[in-house]
Structure 1
Amino acid sequence: MVDVIRAWHPAVPQVQEVLHARFDHHAYPAHTHDSWTVLLIDDGAVTYDLDRHDHLATPAAVTLLPPQVPHDGRSALPEQGFRKRVLYLDPGWLPPATINAVTDSPTLLGADALSTVTDIHAALADPADAFAAECGVLALREIANSRLVPATETAPDAPLARRLREMLDDRLLESFTIAEAAAELGAHRSHLVRVFTTTFGIAPHRYVIGRRVDRARRLLLTGRSPAEAAAESGFHDQAHLTRHFRSTLGTTPAIFSRR
C-alpha cells in the first residue's frame, strides 16, 4: 500500500513531526490532528474533503490543514499515486481565530510560500541547519497570517460540541460511553452526537480514533514499541492499534517505526 515512508521528530521549535511519503493506492479516512498540517505535494495530486468541502492539493501551492478539523485524502489521478512532504506544527503556530479562515481556504498560494516550505524541508534534512528550519517556520507563519482573515463562528450548538471535544481530549486514554458524557454535559445522547458531527464534520468515535493514532505515531517516533504505543494511546491492544493505524496512515506501526 505504501512505497516509501519516513517520519522523524526534529529538534526544531514548533515542529512536532516531519513526514515524507509516497502512496500508490492508500486513501486516508476522515480524521483530525491536534497540530497544524503543512502539506507539500511533490508528484501527483490529492483530492480531499475538509469540513465537508472538496479541495485539491497540487505541487503548485502549499496546503494548510488546521487542528481539530476533519479531513480525508486520496489520489486525484486515476492509476497514479502521489508523493508528499508534511510538516506537523504546534497548535499555537497560528492563532485560533485563523482556523475558520483556513478551513474555508486551505490553499496557500504564492511562490514565497512554496519556496519557504521547500527551504524548511531542505534545512530539516541536516540537524546542523535546525536554526534555518526554525526561521523558515516563523517566516511561513508571517506569510500565512498576512493572507488570513479570521472568520466568525455561527453554529448555535457549537459551545456544546466544544465541551464534548474538550472532554474527549481530556479523557483520551479512558473508556467511557456517550451516555456518560451526555449525563455529565446535561444533553441527550442523540443530540450530543448530532451536534458534534454537525459542528466538526466527524463523529465522536472517529475523532477519538484519529487523536489516538496521532498520539501513537508520536510515541513511535520517540522509540516506543508498537505494543507500548498502543497501551499509552488508549487502544485495547497492539492489534487494535494496527487496524486503525493502517486504515489512517496506510502502513503498520511496526513498519512506520522502522522507517
Structure 2
Amino acid sequence: MQKATALMHKSLRLLGAGIHTAGPGKDYPSHAHTSWELVYYVRGRITCPIGDDTYAATPGTVLLTPPRTWHAELSRSGYTNRFLQVDATSTWPWPRICYDDGSRSLGRIFDALVQESAQPRADTDRLCTLLLGELDIHLRRAAAATEPTTAEKLVAQAERIFEERFATGLRVSQVAAELGLSPSNLRATYATLRGTSPSAALQQVRLRHALGLIRNSNLPLQAIASLTGYHSASHLSRHVKAATGKPPGTLRTTA
C-alpha cells in the first residue's frame, strides 16, 4: 500500500490508499486496523466476514469496516479492489455496506484518491481534502437512505456492468445470466424501476462514450465503433443520427 501525507477533512484524515488484487482462492486473512477501512470492489465476487456479519461483494459494492473490527476477504473468483484507510471516530455515521450508482459516483472518488496517494503533487492535499469530503457526503446519504431492495440492487449491478463492459459486445441476456435472472425478469424489473429497458440503457452508455470520442478525438468512425461496442461505422452512424439528428462528421470539434 502506498501512503500519502495524512490529509485533513474536518475530523477525517486520509492515511493511505491503494489497490489490492488476488486470484481465485487467494483469501486475505482476518485482520483489524486502528482506522476505518473503506473498500470498493472493482472485479470479482468476494465473501467478507466483518465482525459478526458476513457480506457478499460484487463490482460496485463498498464495504466499510470501523476501527478495531476483525474482517477478512474470501476470494471466490479472484478480485480487485480499491482501499482507503481513513482516521475517524468509530461512531462516524457511515453504513457498513453500500452500492455505487450507474455513474460510478463512488468508484470515481476511490480511483482519484488512490491515484493522488500514489503520485502526490503540490496540490494533492487540497484535492484529496475535497474528494474525501465528497465521499463523506455520499456515504452519509447512503447511511440515511432506506436499505435498497433486492430489485434495486440488481438494477444497480446491471448498470455497473453496462459501464464496465459496454465496449465488449455485451448482451442483455449475458447480464441477466450473471445476475441470476431471466432476460424477461430483468426487463420487467428495469422497466418498473427505471421506466425504460436494459437494452435502451446499455445503448445510452455506448452512445455517451461514442459521442465523447467523436467530439474530442480524430479517431476514424470504425475505430470509435470498435471501442464502444457497435458492429460497424454505419451502425454507429445510424444511432448517432437518430439521437442527435446529425451525422457524426458534423459533430467533430477537432481538426
For this structure pair, what is the TM-score category when the shorter chain's length is used for normalisation?
0.3 to 0.5
TM-score normalised by L of structure 1: 0.46
Larger radius of gyration: 2
TM-score normalised by L of structure 2: 0.47
